[in-house]
A and B are shown apart, each in its own frame.
Chain A
Amino acid sequence: MKTFNYHSAKDVKEASKLSSSSSAFLAGGMTTIPSIKLGLASYRDIIDIKGIKSLSGIKVSGKSIKIGATTKHVEVANSKDVKKAIPSLAVLAEGIGDPQVRNRGTIGGSIANNDPSADYPSACIALNAVIHTNSRKIEAEKFFKGMFETSLKSGEIIEAIEFSIPEKSNYQKYPNPASRYAVVGVYVAKHKSEVNVAVTGAKSCVYNDKDLAKALSSNFSSSAVDAVRISSSGMNSDIHASGEYRANMVKVFAKKAVEAC
């Protein structure tokens, strides 16, 4: 492990000011710390934002839930408000990693990292989330740009994620038997005027499957999923699952999610 300077920022402004091209923000540290330890990443400055109170907490309004960036997975999983308004989101949080990860990992960290097999990005897409940063608001569709890539700029800090409350929704995933990350995760959400089918794990970045969404918009049932052909083109392929298998799993898990809605 390479040594680094550790800073604990007292507010967002200070955190932003401390940042540079050789710094990283630290919330749960679930990816950053192992990467440093394994020598995969090194930084001159680590800026800890855990102590910034305004970044944590869950607020419900009539149409949305706003979750602070450093809110831990366990807090989302156990939140009565989340369970009531968007039960599938609480279930998703409860299924991330293991208890150690859920007790440290944060929602902001997860989406800023944008791991192709992370769970939260699918919730953002399915639930028409708006990402609030210290400088702007970004729609989820525009936030996730590619593998481990987001539209965040240098020094930009996620403050909160605001999810729209759907009519109904469900998240189903097939966890990698080794890592338990999603090989395929499908988040189906039925909103008043549209259906979103967000898929994680299958491709290099989370995406909204427009064909499934369209089919389900006109007929919200698992038989509608049956009629959609899922192409394996662009799907990830590795020792755990070929593109062909992932394409099948998108369909199977989309059906499961619709049936469980």
Chain B
Amino acid sequence: MASLVGSRVERKEDKKLLTGRGKYTADVNFVNQTFAYFVRSPHARAQIKKVDTTKAMKAPGVVSILTGADIANDKIGGLIAGWRIKSEDGSDMKVPAHPPLANDIVNYVGDHVAVVIADSLDEARNAAELVKVDYKILKAVVDTKSAMGSDQIYKDIPKNLCFDWLLGDRAKVKEAFEKADKIIKIDLINNRVIPNAMEPRAANADYNPSTEEITLYTTSQNPHLARIIISAFNGVAPENKLRVIAPDVGGGFGSKIYPYAEEVVCSWAAKKIERPVKWVADRTESFLSDCHGRDHVTHAELAVKNDGTFLGFKNETIANIGAYASVFGTVTPTYLFGPCATGVYKMPAAYTNVKAVFTNTAPVDAYRGAGRPEATYTIETLVEKAARELGMDPAEIRMKNFPTQFPFQQTLVHSVDSGDYVASLNKAMEVADYKGFEKRKRESANKGKLRGIGLCSYFEACGIAPSPVVMMLGCGIGLWESAEVRFNPTGNVTVFTGSHSHGQGHDTTFAQIAADQLGVPIENIEISHGDTDKGPFGYGTYGSRSLTVGGTAIVKACDKIIAKGKRVAAKMLEASVDDVEFSNGEFVVAKSNKKKTIGEIAFACYLPGTYGEVKSPLPEGEEPGLKETSFFDPANFSFPAGSHICEVEVDPDTGETKVVKYTAIDDFGTIINPLVVEGQVHGGIVQGIGQALYENCHYDETGQLVTASYMDYTMPRADNFPEFELGFTCTPATSNPLGTKGCGEAGAIASPPAVMNAVMNAIGTEISMPATAEKVWKACNQNKKKNSEAA
């Protein structure tokens, strides 16, 4: 049987999803169901003086109205920050309480104040308008840069500072900077973006009074995590009485990794009123209350020698984590950011200092790439600036500082097992026709357009993650993954994975792996995920981890199946176990050329005995059945890397920027399915270009979200892009048997700096993301002015 790993198998799940037959949380309905509508704060910061529900309770169809006081009475725990960060001075991070329904204060527009539960959604919404909340409005803190000097939001958190974290060695950096010929400095903003999953968040909780069990359907990338948090921290129900199901999920980009207030409230309320409670976010609620991404203000410096050799790097960042510390809100700007801050380069000395600040804005958490795009944007725009200031070619300065020996001990944390950065950049330059750029630039100039080219060489740390390492760094959970491979008696297979697909294509790629391992046709393999009552505990999908960690767990479970299969085959074929070989789905004894298929062995395992024609003896002491579970904890992160090259054309009259050519060469180690990988890269690039050119979350000075709909929040669209040129190099990962590295985030990590470097190359001015038409037009105008003054 030909190997499926590496082939372009079409996605098994697409037929269902593209023909409208997917089943999402909003499609789930229960008998006697109620509908929840949340009363949200219209103010960015206010004291709640009184919540009066009297009038609303009398409205038609209202079943119950619950407030922060009810949450407190029932001792429902608050939402948690999952990663404990220590400041440079050794003190613990400071986090405010975050009750699922606000008690005395609200801290961002959209913060949850009360929930109205009614027989229909319209009735719930209409009654919500009658809930009278008496607020004392307080001055909001909105701006990232000035947050530390603004009004103090929480009594116990001076300067609105969650932590002041350091990674690296300040003294060594100082020394390195003293030896430098030149210091290159940059100030930049990594703009806040809103995840905008196609499917809005939703929850539907059903309580069964006879078993006292809650079943929660929810839009989650990580149902097991949702269950443990809602059980152990919010205290809604014990883990064995809470089943969490994430059915089809329409995208998440990080925003659905962890449970929100709504899931906690729906579960708790369902138990309280003994009726199912359904909530589906409308799009405005998604804009207001999904955790946002990025939002850094950074000053960075690079110490260089005149020949372009890097000597040292420092990064001083203020990270806005919003009104509350979300589950991965504290790790995103620290351990997912700092270790990657020096990029793909040999950097003798470096440090990253991050001050995380609270503001009266929606919480900020992991968003596609989580920390690594922010790190890459900084180092890659800085390196490009260094090239300009030293008069070097941007490719040359990169090549000069690439490590060539692997494993490569990176400056701050990571030991990178494999890579070939020179090969990626060379291939990218070839595919992009880097040499031909000047000619294309002249052609654009003839049309009155400014053409620019930008490079980005990136690496990232994903395959999240080795549990002992992350737990040592403050993570409150392990990050291993599980798999259960279950042979059914008739020889087909169900594979349970603890990771979760919300668009990644697990049903296909995981089946390819299992098919190859077991020698079973792919159509006989079913991948099951997303239900805590099926399969073992797992840690979901994010951080480009599913294949590298979850896929490996499948391989290891298959290994156990094959080991048992060999023992059973040996007995049936009257040979010693050592003489049984397994390949292409067959157990073979070479000496006698006797064989049994894996299907026959599975059947024997389930029918161990003699019944007419069926003779299925099991070895003595062997348990019946054929099902194995494996838990895989990786020894290291994985480190995808590559080089992207972008070309843009700018219309100086309007400032409009068009991406006209985009080349991505990535090293993801072994590729299971190129079709799926290309899709992931396309999506990532588009999301990154979205951040660079279009998307921007805009709060006004009072903390009102101006970009709360698609009328004002610019999503990238298909007609914004050219065809992407994709290519791959391959150095397999050594930390997992598949050799895979992860591909889900690379596009979003590499593309913002590639695009911005191209824009800045075109117009000759530094500008920050997003490079909107007006911003670029203004920069072009200033250049014109400067030029005319100079003349």
What residues of chain A have their CB less than 8 Å away from a CB belonging to chain B?
Answer: 1-2, 39, 174, 176-179, 181, 239-242, 245, 248-249, 252
Contact = CB atoms under 8 A, between A and B. Distances in A.
A177 B712 CA distance: 9
Contact of B777 (A178, A239, A248): A248
A239 B654 contact: no
Contact of A177 (B122, B126, B653, B694): B694
Contacts of A179: 710-712
B707 interface: yes
A242 B714 contact: no
In this complex, the interface size class of chain B, counting residues with CB under 8 Å from chain A, is 20 to 34
Nearest to B655: A245
Given A179-B710, A240-B774, A252-B654, 5 more contacts: A1-B122, A2-B126, A177-B714, A242-B774, A245-B773
B654 A178 contact: no
Given A174-B654, A252-B653, A241 B774 contact: yes
A239 B773 contact: no
A79 B715 CA distance: 32
A242 B781 CA distance: 15
Contact of A239 (B125, B656, B706): B706
Interface in B687-744: 694, 698, 706-707, 710-715
Given A177-B773, A178-B710, A245-B777, A239 B715 contact: no
B384 to A, nearest CB: 25
B788 to A, nearest CB: 16
3 nearest CB pairs, A to B: A178-B714, A179-B711, A245-B774
Contacts of B707: 178, 239
Contacts of B712: 178-179, 239-240
Interface in B660-707: 694, 698, 706-707
Contacts of B655: 245
The binding surface of chain A is classed by DSSP as: loop
Contacts of A245: 655, 773-774, 777-778
17 contacts: A1-B122, A174-B654, A177-B714, A177-B772, A178-B694, A178-B711, A178-B713, A178-B714, A181-B711, A239-B698, A239-B707, A240-B712, A240-B774, A242-B774, A245-B774, A245-B778, A252-B654
Contacts of B126: 2
Nearest to B706: A239
Nearest to B693: A177
Contacts of A249: 654
B719 to A, nearest CB: 10
A232 to B, nearest CB: 12
A119 to B, nearest CB: 16
Interface in B772-791: 772-774, 777-778
B71 to A, nearest CB: 27
A178 B653 contact: no
Contacts of B694: 177-178
Nearest to A177: B714
Contacts of A240: 712, 772, 774
Contacts of A174: 654, 656, 773
Nearest to A248: B777
A245 B781 CA distance: 11
Contacts of B125: 39
A245 to B, nearest CB: 5
Contacts of A2: 126
B451 to A, nearest CB: 19
Nearest to B129: A39
Contacts of A242: 774
Nearest to A2: B126
Nearest to A252: B653
Nearest to A249: B654
Contacts of B122: 1
